[in-house]
Structure 1
Amino acid sequence: MTQAATTGRKAAPTTHSGRGRPGYGRGDVIRIAVDEFNTRGYEATSMGALATRLGVSKSAIYHHVTSKEEILVEATDRALEALNGVVQEAEELEGTARDRLAVVIGGSTRVLCENPGYVTLLLRLRGNTEVELEIMERRRQVTRKLIDYVREAQEEGVVRPDLDAGLVGRLVFGMINSIVEWYRPDGELTPEAFSEITPSLVFRGLEAK
C-alpha cells in the first residue's frame, strides 16, 4: 500500500519544549514514528530504526516514549478520538437519522483528510497483540454506530430497505478509508470541502425512490 502520511522521509528537529532530548518534542517523535510505521510496517520498525530516522541515539528516544506500543496507542488514540468526536456530534444532533448518517460520513471523511498518517496506521493493524485487538475493537465500534444510523434511515424510509445495513456500513467506510491512498492535503480540495462531497455521493446510491 502507498504510504499516505503527510510527513516527509526527512524530519527536521523542532524547538518544542518538553521532556527529553533538546530539539525534539514528544509530538515530533510520535509523528515521525507514525511515518516509519506506515512506511516499513509497525512490526518491522524497531526502536533502533526509529532512532536512525531521528538521527539520535536509541537511548535518547526513551526520554520521550517507553516503547513502540506506547507510540502505537497514542497515535491511534488521536485518530479514534477524532472519529468518536464525529459520532458524538451525530448523537447530539436534533435531526433525522439521515442527518446523523450524513454527519458520520462527512465527519469521518474530514478526520481522515486531516490525519491521514494516523488513520492509515489505525487501518493497517492486524491484531497481532492484545493492544492491537483492543484498538481494533474501538475502531469497530465506530463502524457499528454507522450501521445503526443506516438501519434508522431505512426505518425512516430514506434509505433503500432492500440493502443489508451491515454491508452498506462497511462499504461506505471502505470507500472513505481508501482515500488515504491518494488524498493530498495540498491538493485542490480542503478536508472540509471533501467532507461535503462524500455524503452527497453516498446518498445518490442509497436513497429510496
Structure 2
Amino acid sequence: MSDSVPDSPATTAASGDGASRRSRGRPGHDADTVLRTAVELFNRQGYDATSIGDLARELGVTKSAIYHHFDSKEALLAAALDEALDGLDRAVARAADHTRGEPAVDRLRATVVEAVRILVAHQSAVTLLLRVRGNSPTEQAALARRRAIDDHLAALVARAVEDGALRQDVPPDVISRLVFGTVNSLVDWYRADGSLPAEQLAATVSSVLFDGLVGEPVGGPRSPR
C-alpha cells in the first residue's frame, strides 16, 4: 500500500469531530498510540518529510497496521489538529458566554488559564498546530479555525479595554497578540516532567500577564526575610 490513499469525507479537514480515528484497535498499537507516535515524528522530522513508512518503522509494524486505524497520513494530521483545537474552541465558547454577567476581563483571564492547561495537556499536538502553514486542505481548515479563535479572543480583549479593565494606551489587537503569543511560546520551553506543575504554570502566566512583574507573588505576599 502506498503512503497516501484517497481521502474519505472523514479525513479531509480538521473538523473538530475526531471522525478520522477508527474505533477498532490492536494490542499494543491502538489508534491513540499510532497518533501519539505520528505527532512526535511530525514535530521531529516535519510533516511533509515524514511518511507512513517512517511511522511504521518507528512503531515496528507494517503500513497496513497503521491503515487499520487511519486512512492516510492526512487523516493523522487532521486528528492531531482537532485535538489541539477542540479544547480551545470550547474555552473560547465559554468566554464568549456573557449571560452569567462576568466582566470581560474575568472571562479573558479564565480563558488564558484554560489555554495554558490545554497546551500542557496536548503540548505535542499544539506544537504541530503552530507549525502548519496551510499547505493542504486539512492545514487550511485548521488555520481557519485558529483565526476564528483569535478573532473571538481579540473581541474579548477589546471589550475588556472598553470596560476600562485593561490599559487603553495599547491597541486591543496588540494586547491580544502579546497575551496569546506568550501562551503559545510555552511550547518552546515548558516540560511536563519539570519542576513546574501545570496548575502553577497557569496561575503564574495569568498573574504575570494581568498583574505584571512588580507586585505580590503568586500565592500571596512574600514572607519576611
> What is the aligned-residue identity percentage?
45
Unpaired segments of 5 or more residues in structure 2?
1-22, 213-225
Which of 28, 33, 42 pairs up with 1:23?
28
* 2:44 paired with 1:33: no
Which of 88, 108, 111 pairs up with 1:104?
111
Mapped to 2, the partners of 1:193 and 1:94 lie a distance apart of 27
* 2:136 paired with 1:136: no
Which of 153, 177, 199 pairs up with 1:192?
199
Q: Deviations over 1:78-115 (max 9, x none)?
A: 11111112112323353101101101111111111111
TM-score by length of 2: 0.79
Unpaired segments of 5 or more residues in structure 1?
1-17
Q: How does 1:86-97 map to 2 (within 5 A)?
A: 86-92=91-97, 94-97=101-104
Which of 138, 153, 159 pairs up with 2:160?
153
Q: Larger radius of gyration, structure 1 or 2?
A: 2
Mapped to 1, the partners of 2:102 and 2:56 lie a distance apart of 50
Superposed displacement of residue 158, structure 1:
1.2
Which of 160, 163, 166 pairs up with 2:173?
166
For 1:72, the equivalent position in structure 2 comes to 77
For 2:188, the equivalent position in structure 1 comes to 181
For 1:118, the equivalent position in structure 2 comes to 125
Mapped to 1, the partners of 2:179 and 2:73 lie a distance apart of 31
Superposed displacement of residue 197, structure 1:
1.6
**Aligned pairs, number:** 188
* 2:47 paired with 1:42: yes
Mapped to 2, the partners of 1:23 and 1:196 lie a distance apart of 37
Mapped to 2, the partners of 1:97 and 1:194 lie a distance apart of 22
Runs (4+) of structure 1 moved beyond 4 Å? none
Q: Compared with structure 1, are the counterparts of its residues 72 and 151 closer, same or farther at alpha carbon in structure 2 (3 Å cutoff)? A: same
Give, as a single letter, the amino acid of the residue that structure 2 aligns with 1:134: A
Q: Deviations over 1:106-158 (max 9, x none)?
A: 11111111111010011110111122111011011111111111100111111
TM-score by length of 1: 0.85
Give, as a single letter, the amino acid of the residue that structure 1 aligns with 2:58: R
Q: Which shows bigger deviation, 59-68 or 39-48?
A: 59-68
| Aligned residues of 2:96 and 2:156 also touching (Cα < 8 A) | no
* 2:81 paired with 1:57: no
RMSD between superposed Cα atoms in Å: 1.4
Give, as a single letter, the amino acid of the residue that structure 1 aligns with 2:94: E
| Aligned residues of 1:76 and 1:121 also touching (Cα < 8 A) | yes
Mapped to 2, the partners of 1:123 and 1:139 lie a distance apart of 9
Superposed displacement of residue 21, structure 1:
4.1
Give, as a single letter, the amino acid of the residue that structure 2 aligns with 1:56: V
Superposed displacement of residue 59, structure 1:
2.0
